[in-house]
Amino acid sequence: MRFRAIVEPPEPMRGLEVPREAVEALSGGARPPVTITVNGHSWKSRVAIMRGRYLLGLSNANRKAAGVTIGDEVEVELELDAEPRVVVEPPDFAHALDANPLARTAYDRLAYTHKREHVRAIEGAKKPETRVRRIEKAIAMLRDRGSTAS
């Protein structure tokens, strides 16, 4: 699906407006997961709905990579992203999860976005001791969540 859109300022939650017909043509529901391509640069996201408008977020990094600025009119290629979203766990985090069945079960039940948040926090640690603390904190939180879900 191709359409033209104006690059809108990023606050509050704007970027690219998607025509209703484009969302309907994807047949993926009201907020489908999509692959967006602008000027040859692609990224994955999900269509958002705000105040009755269908929108695609366009981060500073994606604007820069696509070579666009606020106010530009761009051609957008939008495809339904039917591939399952998978978060690759760092080996040390995966080992800690596997060592605690309650934490593993709770983690496996999380949505993709929440799994990604845990992994980003762990991978964002600059010092090894910070990484260990973040893994321990995640395991404790997940373990507690797992024990209340039983």
pLDDT at 51 over 70: yes
pLDDT of residue 150: 55
When pLDDT is averaged across residues 113-121 and rounded to a whole number, the result is 93
pLDDT at 75 over 70: yes
- Mean pLDDT, the chain, integer: 91
pLDDT of residue 13: 61
147 pLDDT tier (thresholds 50, 70, 90): confident
**Under DSSP, is residue 74 helix (H, G, I), strand (E, B) or coil?**
strand
Q: Model pTM? A: 0.64
Q: What is the per-residue burial (b if ≥16 Cβ within 10 Å, else e) of 55-91?
A: bbbbeeebbeebebeeeeebebebebbeeeeeeebee
| More reliable by pLDDT, 8 or 94 | 94
From residue 109, alpha-carbon distances to 40, 76, 102, 132 in Å are: 35, 34, 11, 23
pLDDT of residue 60: 86
pLDDT at 15 over 70: yes
pLDDT of residue 72: 94
